[in-house]
Amino acid sequence: MHLYIHIPFCRQACHYCDFHFSTSLKVKDEMVNAICQEIILQTNYLQDKNLSTIYFGGGTPSLLEEKDLALIFETIHRHYQVIDGAEITLEANPDDLNAEKLRSFKRFGINRLSIGIQSFNESHLKKINRIHTAQEAETCVKLSQDVGIHNITIDLIYAIPADNHAIFENDLAKATTLNLNHISAYCLTIEPKTVFGKWLKQGKIEVINDKFASQQFEMLVSHLASNGFEQYEISNFASNNQYARHNTSYWKQEEYLGIGPSAHSFNHLSRQYNIANNTQYLKALATNQIPATIEILTKEDRINEYLLTGLRTKWGCELKKLNQLSENDFLEFNQDILKNQLSEGFLQIENGTLLITEKGKLFVDRIASDLFF
């Protein structure tokens, strides 16, 4: 089973980000207490109390102090059994990482870092309003390794507007010299409620160029493959089979519990999501209420979610499972669409599994939605 904890604070807002967070830390202590209270209240959500992964996401979890982590981990260990060899990940910003903090993480059992680097280029970091410098982006990885945390993934963003591909080529080259076992890379998207979204509406920036983005995606896949990385999910690349175990649990539809404002939970029968509002979250937990909306999943929901997550991965979607979920209607319902996608070379079937092809990777979400029930 898997546990996700959302830490809803950041030092400043990145221009592209539409995740739930606040730049005010005034209620951080109160939030940590509320998160611990929710862990207690949600104890019975997962039937199996053996956790194989824990993931601190956000927001910026590396803002947490030692006393905050002590309280959260004490609560987790009181109500769950963390199995030997569990993957415990913390998302971090480069500017938060120093030797003392990293040693503290290690003492609590955190054995994997997900570092939000985004770019090693100073002008690009300023363009997207990242708080760290290009130098910090590079040195924080080496510092983490020196302290003894070697299971590290970094995030990169591609399709940041530029005159050519030189900056992104340098980002890729730099990333593959850092002795990493995992890299995640995401296409810059402009969401309505972000700074970039407002600027787009005001005509201050242009929409992301699809051709430019697809060229950088192809560069990404090619460069990482030539450096020993396997693309096991559209945006995720691992060397030596070092897949992100927590994230893979989402794609494989395993059960997980999400704690904190905006966090989601999943138990096969339903999806539960907490309110994305710090004040209302704190108010509810103060009265021992979980401010969550529960959505009972229909047959169609379960099929569509399996398609959307499964087709993005190397493991694909098993036709047998699709037929079971659809009560034997899937192949008949999608006969014409499947035939077309197979003949166009966007999908292939191997050993009873529906897989995306290299050609289809650029359009995977649309291909999946075409097959929705």
What DSSP character marks residue 94?
G
Structure tokens at 123: 């002008």
Residue type, 277: N
Is residue 311 classed as helix, strand or coil in its secondary structure? coil
Q: What percent of the chain has pLDDT over 90?
A: 94
Residue environment code for 215-227, b if the CB has 16+ CB neighbours within 10 A, otherwise e: ebbeebbebbeeb
Instruction: Check whether 332 has a pLDDT greater than 90.
Output: no
Cα torsion angle, 144, 145, 148, 154, sign: positive
Distance (Å, whole) CA 213 – CA 235: 13
Distance (Å, whole) CA 29 – CA 12: 19
- For 267-275, which contacts have Cβ atoms below 8 Å and span 24 or more sequence positions? 267/45, 267/46, 268/297, 268/302, 269/296, 269/297, 270/294, 270/295, 270/296, 270/297, 271/295, 271/297, 271/301, 272/45, 274/6
Output the pLDDT for position 329: 85
- Preceding amide of 59 cis, omega within 30: yes
pLDDT band at 48 (very low <50, low <70, confident <90, very high): confident
Distance (Å, whole) CA 157 – CA 118: 5
Output the pLDDT for position 47: 86
pLDDT band at 373 (very low <50, low <70, confident <90, very high): confident
Output the pLDDT for position 154: 98
Residue type, 266: F
| pLDDT tens digits, one per residue of 100-127 | 999 999 999 999 999 999 999 999 999 9
β-bridge mates for residue 90, sequence order: 56, 113
The alpha helices in the chain, defined as continuous H runs, are 28-41, 66-79, 99-107, 122-127, 134-147, 166-175, 195-202, 210-226, 245-251, 278-286, 299-310, 319-325, 330-333, 335-343, 364-370
Distance (Å, whole) CA 347 – CA 61: 38
Whole-structure pTM over 0.85, yes or no? yes
Cβ atoms 291, 263 nearer than 8 A: no
